[in-house]
């Protein structure tokens, strides 16, 4: 009986010893796992940081590239615009006035100036029908101010280019009567007379030319008006 109890006690202590060894082994495994997880977390954080840096550099490169491309496109547009200016406009378009009013556009607010310059660009290319809508828009935006005389004058030129004598006459007459102090008034009177001649009304054309000479004797159009009066006699 004593032998059986002794064997049982030995077995019990042996079992406890074996169980204690397993627990220590498990604790070591958990510690190792935690260490690995810590290393992995640190590595992931490092990768995340590197990704953020790379993303920032990519964004910087994209911004720089877009800015460079935008600058190149603007330069190309400017070159194209300059090339277009080298092409002579149609005969109906007065070149000195065109160039002067392209510069005059800077007197308008930026949005109106762009529309007006685009309209003049179409006039320069002989696209008179397309130009009219833009010129009318600028006239509407400047209505009630002396600046309205200039886009209105160019509406007359566009109608002239379309061989629309009535439309041209209407625009020129409005410039001359509503804006007599405009630097486009004498030009409008002269071109008004030319339209009247085309319509077969030389008498009224002569009256317009004489008004031009009397009211604007120092204008560039005055000598031309005198010559035209002699021609119509």
Residues 99 and 67 in one domain: no
Residues 171 and 65 in one domain: no
Residues 171 and 215 in one domain: yes
Which pLDDT does position 79 carry in this prediction? 52
Which pLDDT does position 194 carry in this prediction? 97
Both tokens of residue 44?
């992931």
Neighbours of 154 (CB within 10 A): 30
- What does the DSSP assignment read for 79-136? HHHHHHHHSPPPTTS-HHHHHHHHHHGGGS-HHHHHHHHHHHHHHHTT-HHHHHHHHH
Residues 102 and 49 in one domain: no
Digits of tens for pLDDT over the chain (233 positions)? 444 433 443 444 455 444 556 677 766 767 666 666 677 677 667 777 777 787 788 788 777 677 666 556 555 545 545 555 567 899 999 999 999 999 999 999 999 999 999 999 999 999 999 999 999 999 999 999 999 999 999 999 999 999 999 999 999 999 999 999 999 999 999 999 999 999 999 999 999 999 999 999 999 999 999 999 999 98
Question: The domain that contains 178 carries what CATH number?
Answer: 1.25.40.10
Domain end: 67, 86, 105, which one?
86
Residues 192 and 126 in one domain: yes
Residues 200 and 227 in one domain: yes
Both tokens of residue 109?
């607010």
In a domain, 11, yes or no: no
In a domain, 27, yes or no: yes
Judge contact between 112 and 138, C-beta under 8 A.
yes
In a domain, 4, yes or no: no
Query: How many whole angstroms separate alpha carbon 53 and alpha carbon 49?
Result: 6
Task: Identify which of 231, 166, 225 has the alpha carbon closest to the alpha carbon of residue 199.
Answer: 166
In a domain, 107, yes or no: yes
Query: How many whole angstroms separate alpha carbon 219 and alpha carbon 203?
Result: 22
Number of structural domains the chain divides into:
2
* Structural domain boundaries enclosing 37: 21-86
In a domain, 15, yes or no: no
Residues 160 and 69 in one domain: no
Residues 77 and 157 in one domain: no
Domain end: 35, 63, 86, which one?
86
In a domain, 214, yes or no: yes
In a domain, 2, yes or no: no
**Going by C-beta distance under 8 Å and a sequence separation of 6 or more, which residues neighbour residue 9?**
none
In a domain, 226, yes or no: yes
Which pLDDT does position 218 carry in this prediction? 96
Q: In a 10 Å sphere around its CB, with 0-12 CB exposed, 13-18 middle and 19+ buried, how is residue 4 labelled?
A: exposed
Residues 106 and 152 in one domain: yes
Which pLDDT does position 20 carry in this prediction? 57
Residues 154 and 217 in one domain: yes
pTM to 2 decimal places: 0.66
Residues 77 and 103 in one domain: no
Query: How many whole angstroms separate alpha carbon 165 and alpha carbon 194?
Result: 10
Residues 226 and 138 in one domain: yes
């Amino acid at each position: 009986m004593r032998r059986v109890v002794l064997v049982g006690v030995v077995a019990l202590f042996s079992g406890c010893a074996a169980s204690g060894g397993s627990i220590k082994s498990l604790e070591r495994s958990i510690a190792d796992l935690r260490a690995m997880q810590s290393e992995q977390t640190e590595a992931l954080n490092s990768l995340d940081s590197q990704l953020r840096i790379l993303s920032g550099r990519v964004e910087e490169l994209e911004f720089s590239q877009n800015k460079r491309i935008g600058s190149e496109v603007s330069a190309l547009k400017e070159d194209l615009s300059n090339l277009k200016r080298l092409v002579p406009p149609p005969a109906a378009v007065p070149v000195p006035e065109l160039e002067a009013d392209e510069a005059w556009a800077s007197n308008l607010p930026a949005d109106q100036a762009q529309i007006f310059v685009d309209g003049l660009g179409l006039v320069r290319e002989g696209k008179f029908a397309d130009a009219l809508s833009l010129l009318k828009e600028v006239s509407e935006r400047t209505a009630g101010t002396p600046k309205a005389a200039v886009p209105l004058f160019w509406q007359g030129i566009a109608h002239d280019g379309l061989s629309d004598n009535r439309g041209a006459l209407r625009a020129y007459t409005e410039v001359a009567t509503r804006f007599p102090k405009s630097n486009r008034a004498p030009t409008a009177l002269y071109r008004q007379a030319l339209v009247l001649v085309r319509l077969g009304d030389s008498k009224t054309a002569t009256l317009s030319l004489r008004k031009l000479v009397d009211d604007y004797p120092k204008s560039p159009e005055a000598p031309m008006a005198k010559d035209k009066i002699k021609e119509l006699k």
